[in-house]
Amino acid sequence: MLLLALPIVIALDGSLLGWAAGSIAWIAQKALQTFMERKAAQEEDTRRFFGFMAGSLIGRSWLVALTIFAVGIADREAGLTAALLAGAAFTTYLVISLIMRAPQNHSERTS
């Protein structure tokens, strides 16, 4: 999705700095998510498991938000581009996640 957004950013005369910063932040937070999910899966204590997951969610959100903020301070257009890219990436990720987790056969569930 990030690579598909690049030609759109270029066509709309968006900031390449914003695209790069948004892409790096998104990839970094996804890598952090994978690491923390693996770490949490090794935990036998439920509280520690949920602590890892909650900490991961909060930390990853702050990572993306602070990246957008920092780039926006340097260049407002870059901040806007990074924010729009992060929003589009999150929306795409959320929709795909919901589709992938949907029941395979809805009729079996309702019967």
* Count of beta carbons in the 10 Å neighbourhood of residue 17: 16
Distance separating alpha carbons of residues 60 and 49, to the nearest angstrom: 17
Are residues 9 and 15 in contact, defined by beta-carbon separation less than 8 angstroms? Answer: yes
> What is the tens place of the pLDDT at every residue in 30-62?
999 999 999 888 988 889 899 889 999 999 999
Q: Which tokens go with 15?
A: 């900031």
pLDDT value of residue 101: 84
* pTM for the structure as a whole: 0.81
Map out the domains of the chain as residue ranges.
35-87
